[in-house]
Structure 1
Amino acid sequence: MIRKFFSKFINKMSKSLAIDLGTANTLILTHDGKLINEPSVVAIQENNGSKKVLCVGSEAKKMLGRTPENTYAIRPMRDGVISDFIIAEEMIKHFMRLANSDKGLINPKVIIGVPAGATIVERRAIQDAAKSAGARYVQLVKEPMAAAIGAGLPVSDPMGSMVVDIGGGTTEIAILSLGGIVIAESCRVGGDRMDSAIAEYVKNEFQISIGESTAELIKTRIGAATLPPGAEDKSFIINGFDRVSGAPKRIEIKSSDVVKSIETPLIEICSRIKAVLDQAPPELASDIAESGICLSGGGALIKNIDVFFNSRLGLKFFPADDALMCVVKGAAKILYEMDDLKLESEQ
């Protein structure tokens, strides 16, 4: 009785935070609906072997490719997991402070989405970084489960649902039923790989060099997975450097160029989707054929990506409402409504 009262008191005096700790962006949703959406980038200044954090998030992203000799901007997450523990800890701490500005007496309880294929070591690193950043308790949830719940799929029902969550570093593919993940795969292809493919295409086709920020801008402004007959072929002017003369150069790039450049990473995602479907029991495969496959994450926002996958696999695909928010919304729902969702305990 005393323990139950104390637990309720602790929860009331502290905030709870749901975190989508992504390779490209970190999203945090608080119990009262406050949202933090910042790039997963940290700017570091190094002097005489010591490192100092200059800024985190949007301000740090502006420095990518623009820093002087002793300063650099880095992404401490790679393929959805931590690649630099100390910097990741500083980043999480900064974002938690933003979300928890009116901090209570007790540190927050945190739930974080992790790739389904994350190893025990990778999962432990995320837990330890969050605890070092000030979390009172850290719960991990597999990203495809969180994405499916955030997208509103009936994951607790006795029927098959399928989600493809296309993030910056990874694409999470899963079939779910009866509150658990039946089959899941983490594919280390996502928005970052598409950005690299765009930059490589521009280098080969137009003989100019562009940075990752410009490639990402091209993708978000005029990007498309395919252009149906009669669709508008949008254009965008970009600046880069001529690879021969080294002089600044302006070119016009079109949506059709983006279609060509990102075809290879999209085909790789297609092959992983097919591999997961091939493992599905016949009853679940039948359910998915009828209900379709939900697309979430930033990659789901690429124009006509559902059309591309449909043409390749012959199944219905549909983007989730508010696709970018699915993982963090689903994680928050798990945190606050765990009993109602009837999920398997391992989630």
Structure 2
Amino acid sequence: MARADIGIDLGTANVIVYVSGKGIVLEEPSVVAIDKKTKSVLAVGEEARRMIGKTPGHICAIRPLREGVISDYDVTEKMLKYFIDKIAGKKGFGKFFMPRIMVCVPTGVTEVEKRAVEEASKEAGAREVYIIEEPIAAAIGAGIDISQPNGNMVIDIGGGTTDIAVISLGGAVVSESIKVGGDRFDEAIVRYIKKQHNILIGERTAERIKIEVGSAFKTDDNKTMKITGRNLVTGLPVSIMIDSKEALEAIDECAEQIVAVAHSVLERTPPEIAADISDTGIIMTGGGALLRGLDKRIEDRTGIKVTIAEQPLSCVAKGTGSALSSLDVLETGGAFRRK
């Protein structure tokens, strides 16, 4: 019987899977397409994401995770089972593949939400399930030795949440999670375009704006792009140009919330650990870390150097998988829960 350890970054926007000895083996959107008539799964991942906003009435493309937690248990279970089966088939683990799985969750989730993740993972085929908080996993994935008595600060910005933690001796000394992430940035852009231009755009167009011209810090580099949406007066498609200045105006409030929480966490950090962070700096991980200028904005407010981790999108998944080899250290620090 083949055995393996799997780390799963069960994100609001993407599911990233790490397998011990093999690295990242799967990275797909957290989207499932369901036939409402038969209740059957039609597509999962990237194939399902392409259906968002384009499905007929009887097909529903849904995201079963909202703001970092499971909003639809049954669909999440089906999605996890699909991905685990896909890995088992691709990697030749064998018919009786039953892995140990470490799944990350946002800081501060409730016991009920943790149990939902555990049960969904067990139903999907896990032999043993462990739960770890996202900033701890992100720190491990970014190459930080969290077992040492040194203070490190991690800001992990995902699709549904931003998790900020000060870590030392295998656990979080101070931490906070807010329900602001990539999705909130997208929603803010949709609202801004609707209010300022009287045009309705979809979430995929909003995401393109965020990635291509988005900025969280004032800059002289004003990028522009052409977008198409539906004019709310005529009902017809119309194209306009959007620039970085408008994108900043759209997402400014969301970016400020993240910066304010980072500042608040630092204020609550013990002096000795704060001194360590002042020396080592702040590490940013997650897809949101790639938003242009957000690192500079946090650095400007806190006065502490901010570094974006190498491969920030996969840090949490890597850390989640690697954490299974150091369970004792993490359990001592209170960083994970054993099921």
Q: Residue 191 of structure 2: SS of its match in structure 1?
A: helix
TM value normalised by structure 1:
0.92
Unaligned runs of 5+ in 2: none
**Alpha-carbon distance, 1:177 to partner:** 0.6
Question: Structure 1 residue 280 and structure 2 residue 272: aligned?
Answer: no
Q: Aligned partners of 2:208 and 2:88: how far apart in 1?
A: 31
Deviations 1:184-236 (A, max 9, x none): 111110000000011111111221100111101111122221233xx321111
Question: Structure 1 residue 330 and structure 2 residue 319: aligned?
Answer: yes
Q: Aligned partners of 1:243 and 1:190: how far apart in 2?
A: 27
Q: Aligned partners of 1:181 and 1:345: how far apart in 2?
A: 8
Q: What residue is the counterpart of 2:29 in the other structure? A: 39
CA separation of 1:346 and 1:314: change in aligned 2, threshold 3 A: closer
Question: Structure 1 residue 316 and structure 2 residue 334: aligned?
Answer: no
Q: How does 1:211-230 map to 2 (within 5 A)?
A: 211-228=202-219
Q: Aligned partners of 1:273 and 1:226: how far apart in 2?
A: 16
**Alpha-carbon distance, 1:345 to partner:** 5.2
Letter in 2 for 1:45: D
Question: Structure 1 residue 305 and structure 2 residue 294: aligned?
Answer: yes
Q: What residue is the counterpart of 2:259 in the other structure? A: 270
Q: Aligned partners of 2:332 and 2:85: how far apart in 1?
A: 30
Letter in 2 for 1:33: G
Q: Aligned partners of 1:254 and 1:76: how far apart in 2?
A: 32
Count of residue pairs brought into register by the alignment:
332
Question: Structure 1 residue 103 and structure 2 residue 90: aligned?
Answer: no
**Alpha-carbon distance, 1:154 to partner:** 3.2
- Of 151, 155, 169, 2:142 maps to 151
**Alpha-carbon distance, 1:346 to partner:** 4.7
Q: Aligned partners of 2:291 and 2:265: how far apart in 1?
A: 22
**Alpha-carbon distance, 1:341 to partner:** 7.5
Question: Structure 1 residue 142 and structure 2 residue 133: aligned?
Answer: yes
Deviations 1:234-274 (A, max 9, x none): 11111100011111001111122111111100111112112
**Alpha-carbon distance, 1:338 to partner:** 4.0
Q: Aligned partners of 2:56 and 2:97: how far apart in 1?
A: 40
Unaligned runs of 5+ in 1: 1-9
Deviations 1:27-83 (A, max 9, x none): 001122242010000111111xx4111101111111111111111111100111111
Q: How does 1:32-71 map to 2 (within 5 A)?
A: 32-47=22-37, 50-71=38-59
Say if 2:172 and 2:335, in contact at 8 Å, map to a contact too: no
Identity of matched residues, % = 44
Deviations 1:96-148 (A, max 9, x none): 12222123334111111111111111000000001111111111111110001
With 307-316 and 171-180 compared, the bigger mean Cα shift is at 307-316
Letter in 1 for 2:297: F
Letter in 2 for 1:165: D
TM value normalised by structure 2:
0.94
Question: Structure 1 residue 78 and structure 2 residue 69: aligned?
Answer: no
